């Protein structure tokens, strides 16, 4: 059913993403990808009284929309795997009050969407779940005041800084059927290059992306140019450059890399600086841009590597370095999962 090669799981019968939904906020409305989002709101409070409650509302709406687009109900879903950046993952935990679905919380910071998709693909492909919701969210204002400074301070953003997306993405995984296939999953290892600059997440996360990608390529015997695109989650301009350098040192020249954080805010670099970030950034780009391209057969085979920085405000104040992790899922256009390549 599934083959294990090193850190990578290969699904002979790829589970499919039967439905997807992406919702964004105000800044995301200005994105070149805006057209791919299902809903965009100019009110970043989403009708709530706090930013944290706004994120919960955003996540809940996205999950409900995904179920609606799938033409299914909560009863037809076995499990939800979801997470976010708020302390104790309250964005997701509170959203799950509104859904009558068993819930296992996951935490991988900005790598959450790939982690949830990867675990969900395992469970559905093994017949352990009929349907799994994989979801991640983030909210700019909730993240800023938690990790950095209160917004009203108007702190100057450094050139390496990234902008936490106010966005959520949700996928419904099914064991079989129509949809983009999840062909392989590689769970990453924690990597720490002793970066301590909380305004340079790209530098902290690039080594994790390189590590997981290298594991996947070796495990599956894939050459990078066999992939239509290598999508990373939120390395931004700075982290993307570092990823290219790290891979070059391994003899790999990346010509088909794109970063969700750069794609989401293309043209807004003056305010966002290095790019987008947050679990909702790559979750939103996955559901608004990557999956539609695969569904429309504009791409055939891609990898989606979401990267997460695992620090907190407390560890930052304690002058700890920033460990990072990256999880990878290989996605195939509908009908493309069948051809096999044995590593």
Does position 338 interact with its own copies (CB under 8 A)? The reply is no
**CB nearer to its own copies: pick between 72 and 312:** 312
Among 102, 159, 335, 343, interactor with its own copies by CB under 8 A: 102
**CB nearer to its own copies: pick between 88 and 271:** 88
Rounded to whole angstroms, how far apart are CA atoms 180 and 182? 7
Please work out the total of residues on this chain that contact its own copies, with binding judged by CB under 8 A. 62
Does position 43 interact with its own copies (CB under 8 A)? The reply is no
Asked if 278 contacts 83 with a C-beta cutoff of 8 angstroms, the reply is no
Q: Which residues sit opposite 170 in a β-bridge?
A: 21, 135
Rounded to whole angstroms, how far apart are CA atoms 21 and 14? 20
Judged by CB under 8 A, the stretch of 21-29, 118-126, 164-172, 243-251 that binds its own copies is 118-126
Among 64, 76, 104, 295, interactor with its own copies by CB under 8 A: 104
Write each residue from 141 to 180 as x if it is in contact with its own copies (CB under 8 A), else as -, in one continuous string.
-----x----------------------------------
Among 12, 26, 35, 97, interactor with its own copies by CB under 8 A: 97
Going by C-alpha positions, the residue among 235, 254, 218 that lies closest to residue 309 is 235
Judged by CB under 8 A, the stretch of 50-58, 231-239, 244-252, 298-306 that binds its own copies is 50-58
Least separation in angstroms between residue 310's CB and its own copies is 3
Among 21, 96, 136, 244, interactor with its own copies by CB under 8 A: 96
Judged by CB under 8 A, the stretch of 17-25, 100-108, 221-229, 268-276 that binds its own copies is 100-108
Does position 78 interact with its own copies (CB under 8 A)? The reply is yes
Does position 241 interact with its own copies (CB under 8 A)? The reply is no
> What is the residue whose two structure tokens read 């795997």?
81
Residue 151: Cβ within 10 Å count:
12
Among 126, 155, 248, 338, interactor with its own copies by CB under 8 A: 126
Q: Which residues sit opposite 164 in a β-bridge?
A: 277
Cα 267–chain centre separation: 21
Largest CA distance in the chain: 55
**CB nearer to its own copies: pick between 105 and 224:** 105
Ramachandran area for residue 278 (φ above 0: left; ψ -120 to 50: alpha; else beta) = left
> What is the residue whose two structure tokens read 């990867």?
118
Judged by CB under 8 A, the stretch of 29-37, 184-192, 199-207, 295-303 that binds its own copies is 184-192
Residues 6+ apart with CB under 8 A from 60: 95, 98, 99
Rounded to whole angstroms, how far apart are CA atoms 179 and 299? 13
Show contacts with its own copies in window 294-313 (CB under 8 A): 310-313
262's enclosing H/E stretch is helix 260-264
Show contacts with its own copies in window 53-72 (CB under 8 A): 53
Asked if 289 contacts 33 with a C-beta cutoff of 8 angstroms, the reply is yes
Q: Please count the residues of the chain.
A: 343
- Asked whether the CA dihedral 187, 183, 19, 295 is positive or negative, the reply is positive
Q: List contacts with its own copies (CB under 8 A).
A: 1-2, 4, 7, 9, 49-50, 52-53, 78-79, 83, 85-90, 93-94, 96-97, 99-109, 115, 118-119, 122-123, 126-130, 146, 186-192, 310-315, 318, 320, 323, 325, 327
């Amino acid at each position: 059913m599934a083959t294990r090669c090193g850190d990578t799981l290969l699904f002979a019968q790829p589970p499919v993403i039967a439905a997807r939904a992406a919702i964004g906020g105000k800044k995301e409305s200005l994105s070149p990808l805006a057209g791919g989002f299902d809903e965009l709101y100019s009110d970043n409070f989403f009708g709530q009284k706090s930013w944290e409650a706004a994120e919960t509302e955003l996540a809940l709406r996205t999950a409900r929309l995904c179920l609606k687009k799938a033409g299914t109900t909560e009863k037809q879903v076995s499990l939800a795997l979801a997470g976010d950046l708020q302390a104790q993952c309250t964005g997701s935990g509170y959203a799950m009050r509104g859904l009558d679905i068993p819930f296992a919380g996951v935490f991988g910071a900005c790598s959450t969407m790939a982690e949830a998709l990867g675990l969900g693909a395992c469970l559905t492909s093994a017949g352990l779940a009929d349907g799994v919701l994989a979801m991640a969210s983030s909210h700019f204002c909730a993240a800023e005041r938690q990790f950095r400074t209160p917004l009203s301070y108007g702190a100057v953003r450094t050139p390496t800084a990234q902008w936490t997306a106010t966005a959520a993405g949700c996928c419904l995984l099914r064991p079989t059927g129509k949809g983009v296939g999840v062909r392989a999953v590689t769970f990453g290892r924690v990597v720490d290059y002793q970066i301590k600059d909380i305004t340079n997440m790209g530098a902290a996360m690039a080594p994790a992306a390189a590590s997981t990608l290298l594991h996947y390529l070796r495990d599956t015997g894939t050459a990078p140019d066999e992939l239509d695109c290598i999508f990373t989650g939120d390395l931004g301009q700075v982290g993307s450059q570092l990823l290219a350098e790290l891979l070059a040192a391994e003899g790999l020249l990346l010509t088909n890399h794109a970063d969700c954080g750069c794609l989401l805010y293309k043209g807004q670099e003056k305010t966002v600086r290095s790019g987008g970030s947050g679990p909702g950034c790559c979750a939103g780009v996955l559901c608004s841009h990557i999956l539609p391209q695969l569904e429309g057969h504009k791409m055939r085979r891609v990898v989606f590597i979401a990267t997460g920085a695992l620090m907190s405000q407390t560890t930052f104040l304690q002058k700890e370095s920033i460990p990072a992790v990256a999880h990878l899922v290989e996605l195939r256009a509908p009908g493309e999962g069948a051809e096999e390549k044995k590593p």
